[in-house]
């Protein structure tokens, strides 16, 4: 390591590594080499890493837990900045609830554990989602009827152009379905540093999804605690989603299909039993997993190193040493099949570079 690593300016500066395999830093276990790789553990480190990229006229890419990104097989000729800034602080707490500040490099599930163990309600349904807090915000992660946006007060970012920390309030974060302002070109230069969450004391926020309903069948829902919800989801998800320590995967690969009423009624003519949910603003949500399973018969479909997980078709699994090229071909094939049968263009949730 001594030979291919050096410091930026002084002994406090973060270590810059050269020629780091990105496949080791993403849950899909795909990706070529990064020319430079920096683990940033503080805001100072972030500033130094960005300065390094600017002064060497290199692009940079900010990585969190690597659970939603698939890198190219080719060399990344720039700087990967892995956001490892950790910390969880209770800003205020009273009998109603609490405000918590969490830093972007924290594992999101550790934040859920922190909150649940203190009876801070609001994110317990987001149990066992891989990735860091930064990624959770970019993606507006959601599960079992809860989205992170429901608890966000504001996000602090490092503006890489002005080099200052700015606070963006909830209304300006433009959260949507697996979407936020951080996916827009206007905020490509923002590095998420921390987020303030507002949590309530009391009861679980949402038990409406069938898996949770089934789990607590026969119980008085008003007596279910948030620790029980967390335990339930650990069990439910371990059965439905592959073990990240055994397989390469990025969780749900595709977004659900959101369409207007006319499009949905057209589709219903061919698929009268299609399940659907209200997606707000007059739109309809159709589970993409259902299309893959029931319309296309693709559950468990496997080709080469890649496949759709046998217990959850939305999850693409790297069973061996798949490449980015192979993944792109596999995904095109799945999307073509879906389009042929439904005229729907499936959208990726995962960022494939």
The interface mask with ligand NAP, positions 251-290, x = CB under 6 A, is: xx---x--------------------x---------x-x-
The position carrying tokens 């810059």 is 16
- As measured in angstroms, the least distance from the Cβ of 346 to ligand NAP is 13
Q: For ligand NAP, give the closer residue by CB, 129 or 168.
A: 129
* 222-241 binders of ligand NAP (CB under 6 A): 240
Which residues are marked as active site? 178, 252, 349
For residues 125 and 199, what is the distance between their CA atoms, to the nearest angstrom?
13
Buried/exposed code over 228-263 (b: 16+ C-beta within 10 A; e: otherwise) = bbbebbeebbeeebbeeeebbbbbbbbbbbbbeeeb
Q: For ligand NAP, give the closer residue by CB, 61 or 209.
A: 209
Site stretch for ligand NAP (CB under 6 A), options 11-19, 206-214, 263-271, 336-344: 206-214
Q: For ligand NAP, give the closer residue by CB, 127 or 323.
A: 127
- Nearest-10 Cα torsion for 15, 20, 25, 29: -170
Among 5, 91, 208, 235, binds ligand NAP (CB under 6 A): 208
- As measured in angstroms, the least distance from the Cβ of 232 to ligand NAP is 12
Angle at the Cα of 131 (from 126 to 132), degrees rounded to 5? 95
Angle at the Cα of 104 (from 102 to 109), degrees rounded to 5? 70
Site stretch for ligand NAP (CB under 6 A), options 10-18, 20-28, 159-167, 207-215: 207-215
Q: For ligand NAP, give the closer residue by CB, 311 or 329.
A: 311
Query: Does residue number 108 form part of the binding site for ligand NAP (CB under 6 A)?
Result: no
**In Å, how far from its chain's centre is CA 10?**
34
**Euclidean distance between the first and final Cα of the chain, in Å?**
27
Site stretch for ligand NAP (CB under 6 A), options 49-57, 103-111, 114-122, 142-150: 142-150
For residues 16 and 171, what is the distance between their CA atoms, to the nearest angstrom?
37
Q: Which residues contact 219 (CB under 8 A, 6 or more apart)?
A: none
Site stretch for ligand NAP (CB under 6 A), options 25-33, 37-45, 136-144, 326-334: 136-144
Q: For ligand NAP, give the closer residue by CB, 39 or 349.
A: 349
The position carrying tokens 């279910």 is 224
Q: For ligand NAP, give the closer residue by CB, 20 or 141.
A: 141
- Cβ proximity of 128 and 109 under 8 Å: yes
Phi/psi region, residue 280 (left: phi>0; alpha: psi -120 to 50; beta: rest), is: left
- As measured in angstroms, the least distance from the Cβ of 181 to ligand NAP is 18
Site stretch for ligand NAP (CB under 6 A), options 25-33, 78-86, 143-151, 160-168: 143-151
- Cβ proximity of 60 and 37 under 8 Å: no
- Cβ proximity of 314 and 291 under 8 Å: no
Query: Does residue number 211 form part of the binding site for ligand NAP (CB under 6 A)?
Result: yes
Two structure tokens written together for 185:
């070109």
- As measured in angstroms, the least distance from the Cβ of 173 to ligand NAP is 17
DSSP codes, 279-341: -STTEEEE-HHHIIIIIT--TT-EETTEEEETTEEEEEEE-S---HHHHHHHHHHHHHHHHHH
Q: For ligand NAP, give the closer residue by CB, 201 or 294.
A: 294
The interface mask with ligand NAP, positions 287-306, x = CB under 6 A, is: x-x-----------------
How many chain residues are in contact with ligand NAP, going by CB under 6 A?
19
- Cβ proximity of 269 and 247 under 8 Å: no
For residues 25 and 124, what is the distance between their CA atoms, to the nearest angstrom?
26
- As measured in angstroms, the least distance from the Cβ of 33 to ligand NAP is 27
- As measured in angstroms, the least distance from the Cβ of 51 to ligand NAP is 33
Query: Does residue number 209 form part of the binding site for ligand NAP (CB under 6 A)?
Result: yes
Contact residues for ligand NAP (CB under 6 A)? 129, 141-145, 208-211, 240, 251-252, 256, 277, 287, 289, 312, 314
């Amino acid at each position: 390591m001594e030979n291919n690593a050096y410091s930026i300016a002084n002994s406090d500066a973060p270590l810059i590594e050269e020629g780091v395999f990105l496949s080791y830093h993403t849950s899909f276990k795909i990706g070529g080499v990064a020319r430079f790789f920096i683990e940033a553990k503080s805001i100072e480190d972030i500033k130094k890493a960005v300065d390094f990229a600017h002064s060497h006229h290199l692009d940079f890419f900010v990585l969190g837990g690597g659970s939603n990104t698939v890198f190219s097989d080719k060399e990344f000729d720039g700087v990967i900045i892995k956001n490892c800034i950790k910390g969880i602080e209770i800003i205020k707490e009273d009998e109603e609830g609490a405000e918590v500040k969490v830093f972007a490099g924290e594992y999101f599930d550790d934040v859920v554990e922190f909150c649940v163990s203190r009876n801070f309600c609001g994110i317990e349904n987001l149990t066992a989602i891989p990735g860091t807090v930064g990624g959770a915000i970019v993606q507006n992660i959601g599960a079992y009827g809860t989205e992170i946006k429901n608890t966000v007060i504001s996000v602090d970012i490092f503006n890489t152009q002005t080099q200052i920390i700015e606070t963006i309030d909830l209304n300006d974060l433009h959260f949507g379905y697996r979407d936020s302002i951080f996916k827009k070109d206007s905020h490509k230069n923002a590095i998420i540093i921390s987020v303030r969450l507002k949590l309530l004391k009391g009861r679980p926020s949402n038990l409406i999804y069938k898996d949770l309903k089934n789990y607590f069948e026969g119980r008085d829902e008003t007596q279910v605690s948030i620790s029980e919800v967390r335990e339930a989801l650990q069990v439910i998800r371990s059965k439905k989603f592959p073990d990240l320590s055994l397989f390469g995967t990025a969780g749900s690969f595709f977004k659900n299909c959101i369409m207007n009423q006319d499009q949905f009624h057209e589709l219903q003519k061919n698929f009268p039993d299609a399940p659907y949910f209200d997606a707000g603003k007059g739109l309809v949500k159709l589970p993409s997993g259902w299309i893959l399973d029931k319309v296309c018969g693709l559950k468990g479909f496997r080709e080469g190193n890649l496949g759709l997980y046998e217990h959850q078709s939305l999850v693409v699994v790297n069973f061996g040493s798949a490449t980015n090229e192979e993944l792109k071909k596999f995904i095109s094939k799945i999307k073509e099949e879906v389009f042929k049968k439904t005229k729907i263009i499936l959208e990726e949730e995962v960022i494939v570079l």
